[in-house]
Each structure stands twice: as C-alpha cells, then as structure tokens.
A = this chain, B = another copy of it.
Amino acid sequence: MEIPVIRSVFESNEKRAHKVREQLTKRGILTLNMISSPGAGKTTVLEHTLADLAKEFSIAVIEGDLQTDNDARRIAKSGVQVVQINTEGGCHLESSMIQNCFDNLTLDNLDILIIENVGNLVCPVEFDLGEDAKIALLSVTEGDDKPEKYPLLFQLAKVLLITKTDLLPYVDFSMDKAIHYATRNNPDLCTIPVSSTQNTGFDPWYAWIRKAVADKKHHTASPNLS
C-alpha cells in the first residue's frame, strides 16, 4: 500500500510564487508586499504614497481582505488600477491568489505592484507572494515590544515603516527600543518613521521606492549582470 503524501501548502505556494516572480521580473515591475497588524495604517500609507507617486510611476494595487471591499474603494479614488482579493475569512494571501489577479490587471508598462496583505502580523509572513520586498508597518500605538514578540516579519522585511508618530507624545513607545529589536537579526532593515495624519516622514520612503524601481529595471534590462 502506498503512503499518501500530502504536498505541503508552503511547498505549493513557493512554486507558484516563483512563477509570479518570473512574470513580474521579466516586465521589470517592482512588487511590494505590505504586512502589519490590523489598523497599523497600511491603507492610509498607501493613499499617501499613491497621491505623491502616481504621476511619477505607473502603479497597481492588490487589496487583500477577509471580506468587504472598503479598502479597494478607498484606493480606487487615487485613479490607479486596483483588484480586491477576499479571502473569505482566510488569514493571509497566497501566491495563487496573486496569479489569479493577473487576469484583471494590465501589467504592460507597469512600474510598481503593491500588495496590501490581510491585517495579521503572523501568518502572511510565511507566504511568499513573488514580491521583491516585504514592507512591514508597526504603529507606535502597538508598543515597542512587538518586533521582539513577533520577530519573523522584522527579520524578513526590507523596510519598516513606523507609523502614527504623531501619537508619540501620548503613548509609551521607545523608538530606540523598537528599532533595536527590529534590526538585531536584520541589520539592513531600512526603518522609516512616518505620520500620515501630519504627512511627515514620507520622503525617505519615496527615495527607497525610487531606488528600488531603478534597481529592478536595471536588473531586468541587463539580466546577465544580476
């Protein structure tokens, strides 16, 4: 009798993510996977980013939510392409869901694809979506201990946006402590404090995006150099 082998959900996701990454890379599209707790400010940061960069770059957004299309409707106001994924209660996005979005997205001449994952500091981290970079968000109201308590995201992310800095006077949050724990196993992590309410701190974020877009196009144009 043969023993049935259940292919792991991770293995299946990795294979599909590889295909998604190939498709996006051959077109030179920088792809970002935004991950945070619910309410850390992903959609609001995205609204600011689109308002400031949508004339400079061609950007599309994939919105992940358990249900509702509230965030997709907010993003659509900026005029960029947006596709909603509803996970029907599922706690993370998977690469097959991204692949399925390509039927409804025009990838030609796109510079940047931004994926807003389901609000969850744990599960989405383990699922590669074919992105170039995971972008972590941590709001100062969540507490400076979170990078120590939920370490994997902060180990794997390339950027950490520390949000809601306008609330720093009213909460017990040490920027030094948060950055210490976020970077101790990821010294290259780029940490950027921002306030969407006060519209401050976004310039380093935009500079990071501009460089990442240029790097992506450079590698795509000269694949033998990479």
Contacts and interface: CB of A to CB of B under 8 A. Distances in A.
A115 interface: no
A158 interface: no
Contact of A121 (B119, B139, B171): B119
Interface centre among A4, A68, A142 (most CB of B within 10 A): A142
Contacts of A23: none
The secondary structure that dominates the A interface is loop
Interface stretch (A7-15, A97-105, A147-155): A147-155
Interface stretch (A25-33, A106-114, A162-170, A212-220): A162-170
Contacts of A133: none
* Oligomeric state, in copies: 2
A192 interface: no
A120 interface: yes
Contacts of A67: 149, 151
A187 interface: no
A145 interface: yes
Contact of A143 (B4, B39, B171): B39
Given A39-B37, A139-B39, A91 B89 contact: no
A121 B121 CA distance: 10
Contact of A170 (B68, B122, B167): B167
Given A38-B150, A148-B70, A122 B6 contact: no
A119 B37 contact: yes
A45 interface: no
A198 to B, nearest CB: 11
16 contacts: A1-B1, A38-B121, A38-B142, A38-B143, A38-B150, A67-B151, A68-B148, A70-B148, A89-B122, A89-B152, A91-B123, A119-B150, A120-B121, A120-B122, A167-B171, A170-B170
